[in-house]
Structures are given as structure tokens and as C-alpha cells.
């Protein structure tokens, strides 16, 4: 019936909107299955997860903070926030990017970067680590593990540079974030 | 302090304290302690279904007709997985039900034990919330929390998975029915200035329309009364979704009929041309909007919903009010009173336009004296049951749309159909659920020949409990709606949608110990319907209807509201070729 689209009982539309990266901070009851509930919602509704960090933050009240970076159009990000807020064990959802702009909220990530090499490359790796203020947390005769804490972009840059001096593997924690100032996130 | 009880006894006590008198279920290894507790009390009546999907739909039927929470009990593994369709149905249609599932003992969880399934994992996506009870101390709280979550905000299904050792364990029961939930607190107040804004917009509009939905029904019968008052005051035309039928009477003077894919011409045209749309308790579903970027292009849109996720989900609105529909209507009437607004615009021009659309007579069909037309069957059923205390349920397909088009509902909670999920097999168990709640009422499942076979086993349930449930089958020997789409969209290739080898429904009824009636000719129809109504106990009426009739009007895929197919447009080419191709099987 429709020239461009397959005959169907559904309307086919493609939506192409500007995508933004947003950091959400979600306070949840630390009960079994709560993480599955949150990320299951993302999977079920086709939302993206770029980064995810979860840990208990208050053992007395059994609260955990999920810090999650997602990518989508402003309206999709708003939908994500409302959908997550509706989950029963969720106390609070803050969209740090919406409140503070892309670089406003305090965001940090930790990465462990393993580099293998010898001779000049080994020296260069050490020099770069020093320049980035990365700590050397493990060393063998032909390898290092560097630990770097910082903004995601900085870590991305460091890893990119390491790739030319013998990068072997990387482990990253994902983003931890808080509001700046005296207010609760 | 609480009273000492076993986990199983706590389950039943909590159900009783929540005011639920009848529950639906099927026993099995992992729920035996609960069934033992059921045996030893007489406050909560248990109805034994024949398949767990039937239990879920029966609980939905009970909930939708009474306004209470419906309850089902299923065993672990297959018991729980069989209930999944019913839970999903309740999720999409916002029906409050609590499913109690048995689970293997705590120490066996994760060992792939006999009849073990990851029930909370499987049902996480099809419930509002679910719980795995790991400690007997948590059980009383979780039981009451579950009922609270099921009925609060936008209602829906919840599940409590209870390992067998927890059912045996002894704990202390407290009636926590009034406990406040620490995180789940849906909106209880309303933005009064926004309500005033709505009234102002109505006063300024020239072509307003109310588009109401299941939220009005879910909000309780009083909300329907408020809606009627609001419409009396404002004289705005009203249409409703499939889920909202009955909130405003089908005989009311402002009623335009249902909207959407198989809605009336006047309702859809009015939605398309209006300048102010007031959506109360509906959710801009794709069956309603049609092509989204051509949906009601000239209107300001107002959306009232209890659920924030429904607002701006499919259609961006100009004014949103997060509140219960009843609270909104009450406040709207208050504003009208306080501001001493005695009259609204008469909308004469708007009503004249609507009258023109009504004259199209979009539901007309070709009468036939030799074959029962399905529309005629519903019209006769309506005429012969409208003055009785009647509840109608349906399965899913053409018969469902004809029922929605031709049966007029005067009151809320009288119409039960699977709208969101479109579950074939819903109607009959749901009708049993209604009949359990209202044993003296007339409860009719309007069914299709294909749908009814999906939960026909529930006829045993109806016979066992001497339920008077009636099944009115519009038998056209096809999965009619599938065939309709194949005719219109797939080059008339009728792929696997012919119902070959149908049972003899009269004998089928008799085999179960029920009554079977059939009608083949229009002249026999009334008499057969009367016999169906007057025969006590469950009855199947096999109403053999014109087999290739299709359901119109219809908004085809990717089309806007003002681009409807009417019955006359299509009969000639598309449908007549269908008749040629399968002429041998035709009437």
C-alpha cells in the first residue's frame, strides 16, 4: 500500500535526531536484581548504555548508586529518565548533563592499561605515563600496568598514545560522577 | 506483635486482608503448602483453572469487572511460564493482578532443579515489579507491598516468587495494608493552574474533542460519572479507545464511537480536524494515531495521565497534567464552578461538520437474508442483552472489532478485551473471572472460531463451578483479521489463516458437559441467542457467519486519520478476488 515501505500492519518511520551523551546518576535500593531491572529496561526499550558503574554507597540504608552514560536525542534522554524513575526500587534519577552541561558535573574514570615492549618503546611508554600523571602499579621486565584516573577524554587520549608503544589490554571502571557544590546529587 | 503463621498461611491471610474473595490457580509441587493452607480455610475461594494462562486472564476479568486486585497462584517452572502471557496482557492493559508463584526450595535455586525456572528473571519484563522472597520475615511486607504496587499509579501485574521452604517456615504476620511505600509514590496532587489552563483552552477552541481511554475505567466508576458531567457542561464531542468503551455511554448524544484503526469515520475525522484534543487516560498507541507525523496536525494537545512515561512518548503534547483522571475531572468541574462559567461555546459549526461525517454511515454493511452477517449477529446480541445485567468479553480479531463497533456500552467495567497485547484466548477465561465475581450476571465472551480454541480447556472450569458463562462464536472458518491483512497487503495470498478441521462446537460443548447451540441462518439467530441466554450453565453458541466479510472502516498502515478505507471502497476488487480464489469453501 505504501510505495517506500513494506506492506505491514505497522507504520515504518526512521527517526534521525541529534544525539547527545548524558550522565545519569540513579539511587536505588541495593536489592537483588535491581541492576538487571535497570539495564533490562534499557535493552527492552532500545536505549544505549555507553558506560555503567554500580556500587553500594550507604550500607545502613542499603542504597546503591548507578552512574550510567547514555546516548540519544534530548527527547530520548528525557524518556530514559522518566522510565527509570518509574521502576519500583528507584529512589532518584538525576541527569547531570542536563543540569550542568556536558562538562559541568564532576566525572571521573579509572583505567588500568597494560603495555608490553622493550627498548625505546618501553622508555617512551614510561615518559608518556609520567606526562599524564599515570601511576605505574605493576612492572615486569617487558611490561607495565599503568593506572590512570581522570576524565574519559583524557583516558581515551592516553590509551590512544599507548597503542603506538605496545598497548596490550585495558580495563576501565566506567564513569563515577557527582554534582559539584554542597548539594546532593 | 504479629501472629505466628506459616509462610503459606501468611499468603492466604494477606489475600483475605486485601479484600479479595476469589482467586484462580493450579496446584503443583512447589505450591503444595499454599494449597494445604487454602484447604484449611473458607474465607478465600479458590477456582481451579485448567491452564495457568487461564488463571491470569480470569484474574484480569475479576479485576476489571470489580475494580479490585485479581490474584492467581501458579506452581514453579511451567506453571509460572504459562502465566507469562497473562501477566504481559495485564501489563499492556494496566490491569492490577498479583501472581503468587511457587519456587524450588532456597537451597536448590540455581541448580536446575525439577520444575525450576528463573521466574523473577523471566517475569521482570512483564510485571510492574516482582519479588523473590528469601526470608520469611519479609513475606508479610512483600505481600502487602505487592497489592499496593499492583493497584497504585498506573495499575499492573506484579509477581511474588516464594520458595517452598519459605512457605513451610514460620513467621509473624501483621496486617500491613496501610503501610506507606518508601520509593513507589505515584502523584497524588494535581497542578490546579494547569487545570484552569485546560478550561481556558476549551473556551477559546472552536473544534474541541475528548479522546478518552482505559485510564478513566481504571480510575473507578465515579470517574465515568465525572466525565459525563464534564461533557454535559462543555458539550464537547467524545471518542474513546478500545480500552475506554463504556466510560461515556454508547447512546450518549456526544458520542462519536471508537477511534483508531477500526474506529468510526466521524471519530477519526474529528480527531484529524480538531483544534483542541483533550486526551484523558489514553496513551497515543499506534493503533490510535495511524501515521504519526500526520496525526491531528492542526490541534493543540492536552494529555492527562497518571503515568509520566506515557506523556510525550509517541506524540508531543502542548500541555501535560500528571494526575489520576478522576482527580483531573473533579478539579476541572471545580474550576467551572468557581469561575462561574455558565456556558461554553456551542460549537455549532463543529457539530455540523461532525453530522456530515456521521451521514457517511461508516459502519453500514450489506444485509443478507441467507447468511448471517457478523455485524448483524452483534447487533442482535446487543438488542437481546442490552436490558440485562450484561458483561461482554472478547478474544482478538475481527469479532473483537465488530463487537467494539456494534455493541453499545452504557457503563464502565462492562467491556473486557485484550487491547494492548492483543491476546487470542483472553476472552473466555476473563469471562469466567467476571462470572465468579458476579454469579448472577449475564457474561458473554464474543469469540472467533480460532481464538476460542486457544483456551477452550477453561470450559471444564466453567462446568465445574457451574458458571453461566456464554461463548458467542462468530464462526467464519478463518483467522479473519489475519486473512483481511493478507487480502489487503499480501496480494490475497491466504497463507495458513484458514481454520481447517474445526471441531463441531456443539458436540465440543456437550463433551465438556456444557450446552451447544448453533445458528446458520439469519432467521434462526434471535431464537438461538435467546436460548443461549436462557440456558443455565455454560453455553457455546456457534454462530456461523459470512466467511469473507471484512472489518471496516479501517486506517491502513502508514495512513492518516483522514485517509480511511470504507467498506464500499474495497469490496469490489480486493475482496471479490478473495472470494474467487477460495470460492469452494464459500457460502
pLDDT tens, position by position, B49-94: 999 999 999 999 999 999 999 999 999 999 999 999 999 999 999 9
Range of the domain at B282: 192-359
Is A85 within 8 Å of chain B by CB? Answer: yes
Residues B18 and B137 reside in one and the same domain: yes
Give the up-direction half-sphere exposure of residue B379: CA atoms within 13 A in the CB hemisphere.
Answer: 10
What percent of chain A clears pLDDT 70, i.e. is strictly above it?
90
Per-state percent for chain B, helix, strand, coil, to nearest 5: 45, 20, 40
Residue contact A11–B291, C-beta within 8 A: yes
Q: A9 to chain B: nearest residue by CA?
A: B557
Q: Decide if B221 is inside a domain.
A: yes
Q: Judge contact between B566 and B573, C-beta under 8 A.
A: no
pLDDT in tens, B113-156: 999 999 999 999 999 999 999 999 999 999 999 999 999 999 99
The 10s digit of each residue's pLDDT in B327-361 is 999 999 999 999 999 888 999 999 999 999 999 99
Interval B165-212: pLDDT, tens: 999 999 999 999 888 898 999 988 999 999 999 999 999 999 999 999
B502 and B415 share one domain: yes
Looking only at the bridges linking them, the beta strands covering B539-544 and B470-475 are parallel
**A15/B contact by beta carbon, under 8 A:** no
Q: Which residue of B has its CA nearest to A5?
A: B558
The chain B residues in contact with chain A (CB within 8 A) are 120-121, 124-125, 128-129, 132, 134, 149, 183-184, 286, 290-293, 307-309, 311-313, 316, 485, 488-490, 556-559
User: Picking from A74-78, A114-118, B579-583, which range would have the lowest pLDDT averaged per residue?
Assistant: B579-583
Q: For the domain covering A20-100, report its CATH number.
A: 3.30.70.260
- Rounded CA separation A111/A174 (Å): 8
- Grid cell, residue B493, equals 495470498
A79 with B313: Cβ contact below 8 A: yes
**CA-to-CA distance for B10 and B12, rounded, in angstroms?**
6
Cβ atoms B85, B97 nearer than 8 A: no
The answer to whether the CB atoms of B183 and A1 lie below 8 A apart is: no
A9 band by pLDDT with thresholds 50, 70 and 90: low
Mean pLDDT score, B230-259: 97
Residue B291 Cα, gap to closest chain A Cα (Å): 6
Q: How many domains does chain B have?
A: 3
Residues of A in contact with B132 (CB under 8 A): 32-33
Q: Do A8 and B489 touch (CB under 8 A)?
A: yes
pLDDT digits (tens, 9 = 90+) for A129-145: 999 999 999 999 999 99
Supply the CATH number for residue B100's domain: 3.40.50.970
Instruction: Give yes or no for A40 touching B (CB within 8 A).
Output: yes
Which of B300, B326, B359 terminates a domain? The answer is B359
Residue B40 within any structural domain of the chain = yes
pLDDT above 70 covers a percentage of chain B that reads 97
Extract the C-alpha cell encoding B144. Answer: 502487602
Same-domain status, B33 and B95: yes
B100 grid coordinates: 503468587
Whole-number Å distance between alpha carbons of B504 and B494? 23
Same domain, residue pair B415 and B313: no
- CATH 3.30.70.260 domain span(s) along chain A: 20-100
Beta bridge mates, B465: none
Q: How confident is the model over A82-105, as pLDDT tens digits?
A: 999 999 999 999 999 988 776 668
Question: Chain A residues with CB inside 8 Å of B313's CB?
Answer: 79
| CB nearest to A11's CB, from B125, B286, B308 | B286
Residues in chain A with CB shorter than 8 Å from the CB of B556 are 1
Residue B74 located in a structural domain: yes
Residue B396 and residue B276 share a domain: no
Inter-residue contact B318 to B302 (CB < 8 Å): yes
CA distance B138 to chain A (A): 13
Query: B397 or A99, which is more confident?
Result: B397
Is the domain of B401 the same as that of B478? yes
- Judge whether B364 lies within some domain: no
Q: Do the Cβ atoms of B231 and B336 come closer than 8 Å?
A: no
Same domain, B441 and B344: no
Nearest neighbour of A88 by CB, restricted to B129, B309, B489? B129
Pairing between β-strand A90-95 and β-strand A20-29 as defined by DSSP bridges: antiparallel
- Of residues A7, A13, A75, nearest to B489 (C-beta): A7
Secondary structure (3-state) at A8 = coil
DSSP-derived secondary structure letter, B565 = B
What tens digit of pLDDT does each residue of A43-57 get?
Answer: 999 999 999 999 999
Instruction: Tell me what the mean pLDDT of segment A120-127 comes to.
Output: 96
Q: Tell me chain A's radius of gyration from C-alpha atoms.
A: 21
Cell of B73: 497462584
Task: Select the residue of A2, A32, A75 nearest B312 (Cβ to Cβ).
Answer: A75
pLDDT at B456 over 60: yes
pLDDT (0 to 100) of residue B584: 28
Residue B367, in any domain of the structure: no
Distance of CA B271 to the CA centre of its chain: 23
Residues above pLDDT 90, as percent of chain B: 90
Q: Does A44 touch chain B (CB under 8 A)?
A: yes
Please say whether the structural domain A106-178 has been given the CATH code 3.90.1170.50: no
Q: Are residues B437 and B568 in the same domain?
A: yes
Sheet with B157-163: strands ordered across: B45-48, B22-25, B70-74, B97-103, B157-163, B129-132
Name the segment(s) of chain A with CATH classification 3.30.70.1150. Answer: 106-178
Taking one residue from A and the other from B, the number of pairs with CB-CB distance under 8 angstroms is 67
Positions of B marked active-site:
52, 114-115, 164, 481
Complex prediction ipTM: 0.88
- The pLDDT, as a whole number, for residue A102 is 63
Distance from the Cα of A74 to chain B's closest Cα (Å) equals 12
Out of B124, B488, B490, the one facing A33 most closely (by C-beta) is B124
Contact B187, B154 (CB under 8 A): no
In this structure, the strands spanning B276-280 and B300-305 are parallel
Q: What is the pLDDT of residues B277-336, one digit of tens each?
A: 999 999 999 999 988 889 999 999 999 999 999 999 999 999 999 999 999 999 999 999
C-alpha cell at B495: 497463507
pLDDT band at B586 (very low <50, low <70, confident <90, very high): very low
Quick one: closest CA in B to A15, which residue? B293
Contacts of B490 in chain A (CB under 8 A): 7
Amino acid at each position: 500500500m505504501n510505495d517506500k515501505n513494506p506492506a505491514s500492519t505497522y507504520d515504518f518511520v526512521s527517526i534521525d535526531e541529534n544525539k547527545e551523551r548524558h550522565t545519569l546518576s540513579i539511587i536505588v535500593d541495593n536489592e537483588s536484581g535491581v541492576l538487571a531491572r535497570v539495564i533490562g529496561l534499557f535493552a527492552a526499550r532500545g536505549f544505549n548504555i555507553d558506560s555503567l558503574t554500580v556500587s553500594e554507597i550507604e550500607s545502613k540504608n542499603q542504597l546503591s548508586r548507578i552512574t550510567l552514560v547514555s546516548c540519544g536525542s534530548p527527547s530520548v534522554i528525557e524518556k530514559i529518565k522518566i522510565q527509570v524513575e518509574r521502576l519500583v526500587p528507584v529512589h532518584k534519577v538525576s541527569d547531570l548533563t542536563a543540569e550542568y552541561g556536558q562538562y559541568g558535573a564532576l566525572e571521573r574514570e579509572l583505567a588500568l592499561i597494560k603495555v608490553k615492549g622493550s627498548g625505546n618503546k618501553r622508555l617512551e611508554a614510561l615518559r608518556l605515563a609520567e606526562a599524564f600523571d599515570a601511576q605505574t602499579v605493576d612492572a615486569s621486565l617487558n611490561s607495565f600496568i599503568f593506572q590512570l584516573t581522570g576524565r574519559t577524554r583524557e583516558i581515551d587520549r592516553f590509551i590512544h598514545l599507548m597503542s603506538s608503544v605496545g598497548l596490550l589490554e585495558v580495563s576501565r571502571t566506567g564513569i563515577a560522577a557527582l554534582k559539584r557544590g554542597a548539594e546532593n546529587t | 506483635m504479629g501472629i505466628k503463621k506459616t509462610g503459606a498461611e501468611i499468603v492466604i491471610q494477606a489475600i483475605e486482608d486485601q479484600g479479595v474473595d476469589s482467586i484462580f490457580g493450579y496446584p503443583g509441587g512447589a505450591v503444595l503448602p499454599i494449597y494445604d493452607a487454602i484447604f484449611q480455610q473458607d474465607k478465600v475461594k479458590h477456582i481451579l483453572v485448567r491452564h495457568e494462562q487461564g488463571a491470569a486472564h480470569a484474574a484480569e476479568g475479576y479485576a476489571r469487572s470489580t475494580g479490585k486486585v485479581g490474584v492467581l497462584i501458579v506452581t514453579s517452572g511451567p506453571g509460572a511460564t504459562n502465566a507469562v502471557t497473562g501477566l504481559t496482557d495485564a501489563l499492556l492493559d494496566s490491569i492490577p493482578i498479583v501472581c503468587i508463584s511457587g519456587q524450588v526450595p532456597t537451597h536448590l535455586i540455581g541448580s536446575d532443579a525439577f520444575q525450576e525456572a528463573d521466574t523473577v528473571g523471566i517475569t521482570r519484563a512483564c510485571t510492574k515489579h516482582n519479588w523473590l522472597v528469601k526470608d520469611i520475615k519479609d513475606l508479610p511486607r512483600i505481600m502487602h507491598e505487592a497489592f499496593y504496587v499492583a493497584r497504585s499509579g498506573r495499575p499492573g501485574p506484579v509477581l511474588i516468587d516464594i520458595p517452598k521452604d519459605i512457605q513451610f517456615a514460620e513467621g509473624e504476620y501483621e496486617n500491613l495494608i496501610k503501610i506507606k511505600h518508601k520509593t513507589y509514590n505515584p502523584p497524588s496532587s494535581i497542578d490546579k493552574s494547569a487545570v484552569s489552563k485546560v478550561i481556558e483552552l476549551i473556551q477559546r477552541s472552536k473544534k474541541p474533542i475528548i479522546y478518552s481511554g482505559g485510564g478513566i475505567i481504571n480510575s473507578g466508576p465515579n470517574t465515568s460519572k465525572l466525565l459525563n458531567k464534564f461533557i454535559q457542561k462543555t458539550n464537547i464531542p467524545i471518542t474513546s479507545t478500545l480500552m475506554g468503551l463504556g466510560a461515556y455511554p454508547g447512546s450518549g448524544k456526544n458520542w462519536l464511537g471508537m477511534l483508531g484503526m477500526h474506529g468510526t469515520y466521524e471519530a477519526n475525522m474529528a480527531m484529524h480536524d480538531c483544534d483542541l484534543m483533550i486526551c484523558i487516560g489514553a496513551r497515543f498507541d499506534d493503533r490510535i494515531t495511524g501515521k504519526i507525523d500526520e496525526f491531528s496536525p492542526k490541534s493543540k494537545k492536552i494529555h492527562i495521565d497518571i503515568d509520566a512515561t506515557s506523556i510525550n512518548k509517541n506524540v508531543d503534547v502542548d500541555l501535560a497534567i500528571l494526575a489520576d483522571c478522576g482527580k483531573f475531572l473533579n478539579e476541572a468541574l471545580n474550576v467551572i464552578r468557581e469561575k462561574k462559567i455558565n456556558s461554553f461555546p456551542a460549537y455549532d459549526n463543529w457539530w455540523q461538520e461532525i453530522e456530515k461525517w456521521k451521514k457517511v454511515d461508516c459502519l453500514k454493511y450489506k444485509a443478507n437474508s441467507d447468511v448471517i452477517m457478523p455485524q448483524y449477529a452483534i447487533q442482535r446480541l446487543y438488542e437481546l442483552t442490552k436490558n440485562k445485567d450484561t458483561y461482554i468479553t472478547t478474544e482478538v480479531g475481527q469479532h473483537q472489532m465488530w463487537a467494539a463497533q456494534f455493541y453499545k456500552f452504557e457503563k464502565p467495567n462492562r467491556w473486557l478485551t485484550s487491547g494492548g497485547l492483543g491476546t487470542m484466548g483472553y476472552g473466555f477465561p476473563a469471562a469466567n473471572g467476571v462470572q465468579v465475581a458476579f454469579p448472577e450476571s449475564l457474561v458473554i465472551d464474543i469469540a472467533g472460531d480460532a481464538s476460542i480454541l486457544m483456551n477452550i480447556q477453561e470450559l471444564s472450569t466453567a462446568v465445574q463451578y457451574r458458571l453461566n458463562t456464554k461463548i458467542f462464536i462468530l464462526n467464519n472458518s478463518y483467522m479473519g483479521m489475519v486473512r483481511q491483512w493478507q487480502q489487503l497487503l499480501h496480494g490475497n495470498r491466504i497463507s495458513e489463516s484458514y481454520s481447517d478441521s474445526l471441531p463441531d462446537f456443539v458436540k465440543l460443548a456437550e463433551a465438556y458437559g456444557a450446552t451447544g447451540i448453533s445458528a446458520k441462518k439469519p432467521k434462526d439467530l434471535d431464537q438461538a441467542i435467546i436460548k443461549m441466554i436462557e440456558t443455565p450453565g455454560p453455553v457455546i453458541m456457534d454462530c456461523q457467519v459470512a466467511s469473507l466479510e471484512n472489518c471496516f472502516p479501517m486506517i491502513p498502515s502508514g495512513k492518516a486519520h483522514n485517509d480511511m478505507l470504507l467498506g464500499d471502497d474495497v469490496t469490489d476488487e480486493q475482496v471479490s478476488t478473495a472470494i474467487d480464489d477460495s470460492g469452494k469453501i464459500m457460502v
